[in-house]
Amino acid sequence: MERLLFAMAANRALAPSSKLAIEKWVAQDVYIDQLPAVEVHQLYRAMDFLLEAAEAIQREVFWTLANLFNLEVDVIFFDTTTAYFEIEGEDADGLRRWGHSADDHPKMAQVVIGLAVTRDGIPVRCRVWPGNTGDQNVVAEVKRDLNGWKLNRVVVVLDTGFNSEANRRILQGAGDHYIIGEKLRVGPQGCPRRRCAGRQVPQASRRAGDQGGRGRRG
């Protein structure tokens, strides 16, 4: 099984092709130790195994890297994006669904991909959700995943799309902390409250506002 997964990873890195084409690639184009030949149905079985064991594999890979490179996991950055599929319609009960597209393909079925990384960009967890999943609905699951790996007492960094009162309560659970984006309040002329009609807010007001921001939870 490991040799099959290695072959697919190597193929994707060196000569991306279909699972069927990997049969010829392994047999004629490259040498893979202990894998002289492969059949396409074996590759699909290996993919099924990888999906079933995804959580355990991700955990072992991350902690191996964390110990090897002495990774700092006090700050976790998390964000989502989308990947679309050029198919007719969408899956009735599957992952590929219509939703808000991050890559400007709103008429294509898609999936939502979420990735949590350390401050150095080392992946911690990867998740895939149906394409109609909103950012507001994934924070609780992400937090459970991190806690399940004993990654609590960390600062989770998120952008504005995840900001809600419910999500802030989730992120503060068990004494954890967070940094989360927040939209600027808009003044009467449609510009940010801090600067409107070309005039800056007086220095004393800015100073008082800044102190209030630092005093807010989160």
Residues 125 and 196 in one domain: no
In a domain, 171, yes or no: yes
pLDDT at 93: 87
172 and 217 belong to one structural domain:
no
Domain of 15 in residue numbering reads as 1-52
Please state the rounded mean pLDDT for residues 192-207: 42
pLDDT at 26: 97
pLDDT at 189: 64
Instruction: Please report, to the nearest 10 degrees, the dihedral formed by the alpha carbons of residues 200, 202, 206, 209 taken in order.
Output: -110
Q: Which two tokens stand for residue 81?
A: 């994006």
Q: Do 20 and 85 share a structural domain?
A: no
- Please state, in angstroms and rounded to a whole number, the distance separating the CA atoms of residues 77 and 181: 12
Secondary structure class of 100 (helix, strand, coil) = coil
- Averaged over 172-199, what is the pLDDT? 69
Encode 22-79 in three state secondary structure: HHHHHHHHCCCCCCCCCCHHHHHHHHHHHHHCHHHHHHHHHHHHHHHHCCCCCEEEEE
Give the C-alpha separation, 191 to 130, whole Å: 36
pLDDT confidence tier of residue 187, bands split at 50, 70 and 90: low
Residue 88: CB atoms within 10 Å: 5
In angstroms, rounded to a whole number, what is the distance separating the alpha carbons of residues 138 and 127?
Answer: 10
pLDDT digits (tens, 9 = 90+) for 9-44: 999 999 999 999 999 999 999 999 999 999 999 999
Query: Can you say whether residue 147 is alpha, beta or left, with left for phi > 0 and alpha for psi between -120 and 50 degrees?
Result: alpha
DSSP H helices in the chain: 2-14, 19-24, 40-52, 54-69, 139-148, 165-171, 203-214
Domain at 155, CATH number: 3.30.420.10
Give the pLDDT score at 198.
41
Amino acid identity of 56?
A
- Same domain, yes or no, for 145 and 109? yes
Q: How many domains does the chain have?
A: 3
Pairwise pLDDT comparison (216 vs 206), residue with the higher score: 216
Q: Is the pLDDT of residue 201 over 50?
A: no
On whether residue 62 sits in a domain, the answer given is no
Tell me the pTM.
0.71
Query: Does the pLDDT value for residue 216 go beyond 80?
Result: no
Is residue 150 a part of any domain in this protein? yes
- Report the chain's mean pLDDT, rounded to a whole number: 85
> Mean per-residue pLDDT for 59-85?
88
Checking if the pLDDT of 92 tops 80, the result is: yes
Q: Which amino acid is at 97?
A: R
pLDDT digits (tens, 9 = 90+) for 117-174: 998 888 899 999 999 999 999 999 999 988 888 887 889 999 999 999 999 999 988 6
